[in-house]
Amino acid sequence: MRIGVSFSIPIEEILSHLAVVLESRASLDGPNNRYTKLLKQLEVKTYISQEEISDLLKEIEGIRKDLLRVDQTLEDTASILNGYFGFLGEMEKHEEAEQSDQVKDSEETDDQ
């Protein structure tokens, strides 16, 4: 089960925060190692018992859960980056509007 958590951090820390989150929650090392181990187990077998099949199915389920956690973390990261992108666009528009206002004020002062 997932719950939404909301908190604020300074805008200049967004990218470093995302890097920390990705490094801690979205590593593919664990699932990749488990997947490689699973493949090796299958490659060397010509026959596996029902118990071994059950163990392999549990391992596959574990890998899938790990990948889901990575996928959810990447989805959260993409959502934050989209918000950050929108924020930067709004900041750019605001700065352009301020510059335009300053040019108009300067032109009006020159006309007097």
| pLDDT value at residue 97 | 84
CB within 8 A of 72, min separation 6: which ones?
Answer: 2
| pLDDT value at residue 54 | 95
Contact by Cβ (8 Å): 20, 28: no
| pLDDT value at residue 49 | 92
| pLDDT value at residue 86 | 92
| pLDDT value at residue 111 | 63
| pLDDT value at residue 109 | 66
CA distance 93 to 66: 41
User: Over the chain (112 residues), what is each successive 10-residue block's mean pLDDT?
Assistant: 79 90 87 92 88 94 94 92 92 86 70 62
